[in-house]
Amino acid sequence: MKTIYNLNDYRDFVEKSPALLSYFSTEQCNVCKVLKPKVLALISDSFPKMETLWIDIEKSPQIAGQNRIFTAPTLLVYFDGKEYLRKSRNISIAELENEISRIYELMFKK
């Protein structure tokens, strides 16, 4: 998982990544600390072609503001530069996997 602090870098990742998950959180968020390893495990196991970014909303308020992030944790999933999924606060890993898999399988089907 890469850490991003600059809005232009973030926009470059969104535009250039065929599949991207952005994880918005803070250092003090206890829910975020528990959820983050589960999300990373899901992505590496089930969606290996998806890139992941971590954005600290306190250190990168410009990125958070441009993406209308008001709470932590918030996950944004992009496919081909377009926002496909947005999840905040109470996030089910099973539900997240199901929703990502629909389009991921279409995009990376062999």
Instruction: Indicate whether 14 pLDDT > 90.
Output: yes
Q: Are 7 and 22 in contact (CB under 8 A)?
A: no
pLDDT of 76 over the 70 cut: yes
pLDDT > 70? residue 10:
yes
Q: Rounded CA gap, 64 and 70, in Å?
A: 8
Nearest to 75 by CA among 60, 59, 89, 65: 89
Segment 2-31 mean pLDDT: 94
Q: What is the pLDDT of residue 110?
A: 56
Mean per-residue pLDDT, 77-88: 96
Mean pLDDT rounded to a whole number for the chain: 94
pLDDT band at 109 (very low <50, low <70, confident <90, very high): confident
Q: CB neighbours (10 Å) of residue 66?
A: 12
Q: In CATH, what number is assigned to the domain containing residue 22?
A: 3.40.30.10
Number of domains forming the structure of the chain: 1
Indicate the pairing of strand 2-3 with strand 82-88: unpaired
Looking at residues 44-65, what average pLDDT do you find?
95
Q: What is the domain extent for residue 89? A: 2-108
Which residues lie closer than 8 Å to 65 by C-beta, 6 or more apart?
A: none
**pLDDT value of position 91:** 92
60-89: average pLDDT: 95
- 71, 20 Cβ separation under 8 angstroms: no
Among 25, 21, 28, CA closest to 72 = 25
For 5, the enclosing helix (H) or strand (E) is: none
Share of the chain above pLDDT 70, in %: 99
